[in-house]
Structure 1
């Protein structure tokens, strides 16, 4: 197998990039969907060859020759056909070790598949039942009841790794197939063998043993009774049974399976699903089929003393195993029936917190509020097997239901020493905290990997887990680093660190191995407090703007030392521990919207192409424009998408604030925050305004758009002055006005009103949409000295005042100096006069001393605060005081009596040097971000 891999690597190295992609496409179509397309799509030659050999084994050469022939590359196909060995050349130790790992995994798969191929249909059926029990004993997830040999091997190797050889040997021993045990032992002598501990049900647990014996009797009784039915009657029996099952019983077993099974399989499924009630159900079904004699005999036998029937040893062993699974399942179900509905909710919640079963995105629907007790038991049995009992005990201990713990105790005397409830709960929490710590250091290490490196990490992780006989990660739920690490911690626990080190060693990333080693030496788990840092905690920086090409989006460059920073232009925030520099450009969501919608997402913030040029960003906080007040489970609703040539990767966010989403240890590409598109959210908006110059009238284009700088840039580009006279109709100039200070509901109708009755506004109403550049055109034939525009809801909802302004703006004559004049020339003269006056003022400024200039701009904190509070209406001032009450120090009675001046004095007395920051915080709660900005600006000037 190793020679085969080397041969393929050598031969396929001659393919061009496009030829390689075509080869991968055709190979993937022949892989029976066992390998997700995205793994092939993002893999290089080495990765692709490894995947081919894992999928096709020795047939890889034939498959590739077949594909090369289809591609008309007969010379390469002939060359591969004529080569039995690769050219002898020195392979570095690292690649040789990787090839050995891949070859070993492929050899095990091929060996297991060859063995199963020798089975008859009935042997394979029996093998599957024994396999289910062995996996149940070992606490391994159950596999679907499909009789596809390739699928069985694929699942076995993925979940058991190299240990799958030992698991299957154990199954063969249960089947009394010592010939196959010997065959596997001889064939696998070169492979590592591991002695496996034989799990068995504890015989000191009388309650379970009694139930197992009862289930065995039920199975034997049903087998004996139903064997009296002829083929036609048995098919009718299954039909009636399947209809009842389909209509009444909630189970993870599809009802159609009853129709496909023979007598033994049908009885096993019945007892697995219905337990002891199977006898009663069978009696009823037989009566429906007019088989009254059989029904009576079964009813009589079920009341008699149970006696073990004489069956052959192999069948008896299988019956015992099936009875054990059914007994454990129904014992758990009986115990959960003792929980109230509220306790069941708590049980499900604790099950997810302390014992995450695989990947939450996969199992969450099975632990949803609507899932019943049977759903919960089925899930535990499927995922945890016999460990379900111990898991259930631990959850009951934390719930302080010691009575139910006793019911599930391993012996009637409950001799096992139990923790006190509080100690046990603390131990569970401590274990969870320890696992969180493991996840943190692994995630911190993997954050240094690019998306392509991450794909290689996933592939090599599969090989390492196989080698160490550890569970495989489910590829469908490892798209992001967060999800991958969560699943590693869930399935590997503390071994996640060791496994990660080995994979990184295989990748030749000794730098990351060293880093992870240093992090793992820290004995105390990291306890990171989630501190909501408000805007005042961020040092605002002005970016350097580079715009070398008029048709290219400007590049914003920033650099900082260690600390918390915010870009004044984009609102992007970052945390770094050392000197860092990076740059970004705004990108358009257009071209990506359709793909986002196909994933049920919509943009939630600007799309930015970020490149770190020096140092490292430990956290990044991406701005968003969504109002989160009415959004439940915001962490589940928000995500971040990474867009590059390899495709889109959606990453979970670690925190959501009213203005930002947080990523820890981020990787950068073209990146933007997104939100589930299941509703029409409220968003923050821009009102952009352009006027047409050199006219005697006033024509405005007023845009209502989401607060997206890239969209703003697109609109600005449209109105950029062109030398081409054919585009003179696009020569508009911008008027800068403040945006709305409240969120606006998407998909609602809005109207723009003017106080000048002669103004014509089209359209009369406009829908705020995500993907539209919506604008109103305002035409005023003879504009006066000012024009007041107001944005209102076209159709106010119940409780909303009619014509309440959502945004109000005063447009003065000096906002549009080149229009609305009697003659265009007049505007030019006016503009020249303004320019002259401005130049004269600049000359005067130059003669002012630096000390005088500072004296003119600096105000005391009290004066600045007083000025800001004077902007508040009476009702707003009362709200300001009311919000201050929540912050405590100042007595409510004093606040109610204080006028503005007294209020300022009270605040400085209570909050001292933090008064300005407290004021900003209250302004934000009032959605008065305009005052926050003014206060910040005056504060910045005072520090100059």
Structure 2
């Protein structure tokens, strides 16, 4: 392969060791991972590498399809598809993900590689020898440009990623990887891959991770049981009206906040809901919600995404801000009023359970109602669309 670089050719597919036991094969189709849309004169710029006892030979392909290179009357041995290296080609890629089991923290290793089964096998073998286990997730859905830098970012601040950037290249021996570290892997988070040259563009790959994706990582069951027993003991020592009852009150308040957000999004018109989505993914403040997460979703699904990203209380605040931004001021006032009442009730319940009394006049101040009002219309949800009026 090194000699091919001097002849200005780069790997376009896996190196395959093909052996013919008996008979004759008229043609063979060799897989490749290159996007051919931007490559002119395909037969001139694609070659087949043939390695035999005499050395390396470049053969002319008979046909190049979006997924294979056709070679007629082949001599079998080591074969691979090559593409001219004068082009910065786009390739289909895999994202290989591994985690370290039996650790008190979460450690992930992510490899962005061309769709080469040989490289994947080598990485699997290397990571298995280190004691890491694979997490099977989806691959990037778009062709990515070779020799371009890509940055991996997390949606929560407690997740650390290193290095900041990796260049996509073909390395069959020792490909580079991202390392992701999370001290307390007990919450959902997402990883997003972006072109380093265009950090404001939509991610080229997004993946959500849940605790069940890495079941052998994080605090041991024994440690969790000890903490749970300690919390139960403290709650019991506090007696009736202690922390346990306060926690129950807080949980009820959180459920009420979720309900309020969903009802608020259900009550705006189709046109205003679309405007709400535009403003939501246009926010620059972190954590952000990107178009791919909410486009084509129903109000209930959008509310769930907001709560997962921001938390219950902050999700209500963001929703109110966006409603005012799109001039749905009366809906924003109603949401603020309900949120203030629920917050006051929850705080009063928690204070009462702890033996305290909430001072008068500390409930959230309602904002001045404006005359602008979103149009209320009946509507039904249709898959593939945002809202469809009845």
Q: CA deviation at 1:599?
A: 1.7
Deviation, structure 1 residue 594: 1.2
Residue 211 (structure 2) pairs with residue 820 (structure 1): no
Match of 2:192 in 1: 790
1:802 is the counterpart of 2:204: no
Determine the structure 1 residue equivalent to 2:156: 756
For 2:103, what is the secondary structure of its paired residue? Answer: coil
Residue of structure 1 equivalent to 2:146: 746
* Correspondence 1:713 to 2:111: no
Which of 606, 619, 635 aligns to 2:14? It is 606
How far off is 1:874 after superposition? 5.1
Give the distance between the partners of 2:142 and 2:181, measured in 1 at CA: 27
- 2:73 is matched with 665
Q: What is the deviation of 1:900? A: 6.9
Q: Alignment partner of 1:718: what SS?
A: helix
How far has the Cα of 1:609 moved from its partner? 0.1
**1:664 CA drift (Å):** 1.7
TM-score scaled by length of structure 2: 0.55
**Any residues of structure 2 matched to 1:469-868 within 5 Å, and which?**
593-721=1-129, 730-771=130-171, 773-796=175-198, 802-822=200-220
What whole-Å deviation, never above 9, does each CA across 1:860-879 have from its counterpart, x for those lacking one? xxxxxxxxxxx99659xxxx
Asked if structure 2 preserves the Cα contact closer than 8 Å seen for 1:787 and 1:810, the reply is yes
Q: Distance in 2 between matches of 1:636 and 1:824?
A: 64
Structure 2 gap ranges (5+): 226-292, 298-381, 385-390
SS in 1 for 2:18: strand
Q: Whose helix fraction is larger, Structure 1's or Structure 2's? A: 1
| Aligned-partner Cα distance in 2 for 1:803–1:760 | 21
Count of aligned positions: 231
For residues 633 and 654 of structure 1, the distance between their equivalents in structure 2, rounded to whole angstroms, comes to: 12
For 1:48-59, what aligned pairs fall within 5 Å after superposition?
A: none
Aligned twin of 1:478: none
State the shift of 1:719 in Å: 1.6
Mapped partners of 1:621, 1:825: distance in 2: 55
Q: How has the CA–CA distance of structure 1 residues 652 and 818 changed in structure 2, closer, same or farther, with 3 Å as cutoff?
A: same
Higher RCO (CA 8 Å, separation ≥ 6 residues): 2
CA shift in 2, pair 1:826/1:618, >3 Å: farther
Q: Which has the higher strand share?
A: 2
Q: Which runs of 5+ in 1 are unaligned?
A: 1-592, 722-729, 828-870, 876-898, 902-944
Whether the aligned pair in 1 keeps the contact of 2:296 and 2:383 (CA below 8 Å) is no
Change (3 A) 1:617 1:873: farther
Query: Quick one: distance in 1 between partners of 2:188 and 2:17?
Result: 41
Counterpart residue number, 1:248 = none
d(CA) in 1 for partners of 2:99 and 2:19? 36
1:661–1:824 distance in 2 versus 1, CA, 3 Å: farther
Aligned with 2:66: secondary structure? coil
DSSP 3-state at the match of 1:613: coil
| Cα displacement (A) at 1:620 | 1.5
The alignment partner of 2:36 has SS state of coil
What CA deviation, in whole Å up to 9, does each residue of 1:296-316 have, x standing for no partner?
xxxxxxxxxxxxxxxxxxxxx
Tell me by how many angstroms 1:748 deviates. Answer: 1.2
Partners of 1:670 and 1:825 in 2: CA distance: 53
| Aligned match of 1:208 | none
Question: Who wins on radius of gyration, i.e. which is larger?
Answer: 1
SS in 1 for 2:121: helix
Secondary structure class of the residue paired with 1:820:
coil
Residues 532-584 of structure 1 deviation map (CA, whole Å, 9 limit, x = unaligned):
xxxxxxxxxxxxxxxxxxxxxxxxxxxxxxxxxxxxxxxxxxxxxxxxxxxxx
The alpha carbon displacement at 1:679 in A equals 2.4
Query: 2-side partners of 1:602 and 1:874: how far apart?
Result: 40
Check the 8 A contact 1:604/1:625 in 2, yes or no: yes
Q: State how far apart, in whole Å, the 1-side matches of 2:294 and 2:80 are.
A: 35
Shift in Å, 1:825: 8.1
Instruction: Provide the C-alpha distance between the structure 1 equivalents of 2:151 and 2:91, rounded to a whole number of angstroms.
Output: 17
The answer as to whether partners of 1:695 and 1:823 remain within 8 angstroms in 2 is no
CA RMSD of aligned residues (A): 2.5
Q: 1:818 touches 1:824 (CA, 8 Å); kept in 2?
A: no
| Displacement of 1:777 | 0.3
Distance 1:597 1:824 in 2: 55
Q: Deviations over 1:462-509 (max 9, x none)?
A: xxxxxxxxxxxxxxxxxxxxxxxxxxxxxxxxxxxxxxxxxxxxxxxx
Distance 1:668 1:826, change over 3 A: farther
Whether the aligned pair in 1 keeps the contact of 2:98 and 2:110 (CA below 8 Å) is yes
The SS at the match of 1:703 is strand
Q: Aligned in 2, Cα 1:600/1:794: closer, same or farther, shift over 3 Å?
A: same
In the TM superposition, what whole-angstrom CA distance separates every residue of 1:854-894 from its partner, at most 9, and x where no partner exists?
Answer: xxxxxxxxxxxxxxxxx99659xxxxxxxxxxxxxxxxxxx
